[in-house]
Amino acid sequence: MATAHTIDPTQVLTLDEPLTLDSGQTLPLVEIAYETHGRLNPAKDNAILICHALTGDHHVVSDHPLTGKPGWWVRMVGPGKPIDTDRYFIICANVIGSCMGSTGPASLAPDGEPWAMRFPVITIRDMVRGHVALLDSLGIDTLHAVVGGSMGGMQTLSLAANFPERARAVLVLASTARHSAQNIGFHELGRQAIMADNSWREGDYYGFEDSPEKGLAVARMAAHITYLSEEGLTKKFGRRLQDRSEKTFGFDADFQIESYLRYQGISFSNRFDANSYLYITRAMDYFDLAEEHGGRLANAFRRSRARFCLVSFDTDWLYPTSASRNVVQALNAAGKPVSFVELSAPYGHDSFLLDVPALDRVVAGFLG
């Protein structure tokens, strides 16, 4: 039976008041799932907020409750690691709109039925409003740092721009200040794959035997290609065949890359909600930090007193180095302290999640 993929998170904050959104609507009954690691010091000035990417969640260190796999950034966060839980109090929250414990389209609306497509369209800034509400509940006025990669980087930039007093340092990895036409196009491809699945039922598939798993799997396959590099794909798969010595002259997964992408699509559809994918990709597509601040990106950072660090990767064609340089130029124009580095790694956009020792050194050095 297709049901909401919402799980019991480590901790849950229930907001006392509805959350006001950029659309002008309000979202009632908001719950925010989050995890913390390390200890908050008496001054409450050693907190680091980690913001996750599109298909991530708050399980940054702990094992994923559905897949059993280690936390998505366990190589970066922990005792003695670049984001050191012996020194810092780490917070990671599932964004609103998602399906891993925070309120999203799979959650129950006030009428007791799943929101489905009645859920209001959200923005990156709305996600950040949820984070700020969480910080308020924890009594944290100012973060030591906010850190994020990809969509997480969008959240870090949004927090720095819209809540400038809330962070002393801002670390942005493999991200951008706005989505390009190409980015929007890839997301629209994925959304249409989901909505073309007969099991989508205009988003009202909760409670049925089937859900739009095929459409979601195709969306994931298309997106996953953008996270990798040609160099990485060639090295890992090339044109090698999958468990066979010759082509079948059919449409089975002859090539290893085909088998890999099919596996990625199927495994993703088992842990993620299709409607959440629609809503979160739409939020990313709407993201344009300059547009929010009078059309000039430098204006977004005028009130910030934080120091910034941006990191890009030479094989990332989803959010290329030029996107990071654009933010750096805006920060320079606003007179803000900023450092920038392009790292060499063969993994494409996913490099910020993988074993890149140079990134470890940058993160540890910037956080101090």
- So which residues are the catalytic ones? 150, 316, 349
The distance of Cα 354 from the centroid of its chain, to the nearest Å, equals 15
H or E element in which residue 32 lies: strand 31-37
Which stretch of DSSP H or E encloses residue 11?
A: strand 11-14
CA–chain centroid gap for 249, Å, is 39
Helices (H), 106-255: 124-138, 151-162, 181-195, 213-227, 230-236
Q: What are phi and psi of 38, to 5 degrees?
A: 85, -175
Task: Work out the end-to-end distance of the chain between its first and last CA atoms, rounded to an integer number of angstroms.
Answer: 49
Residue of 52, 240, 69, 68 whose CA lies nearest to 130: 52
Kind plus residue range of the DSSP H or E element containing 363: helix 357-367
CA-CA distance, 350 to 354, in Å (whole number)? 7
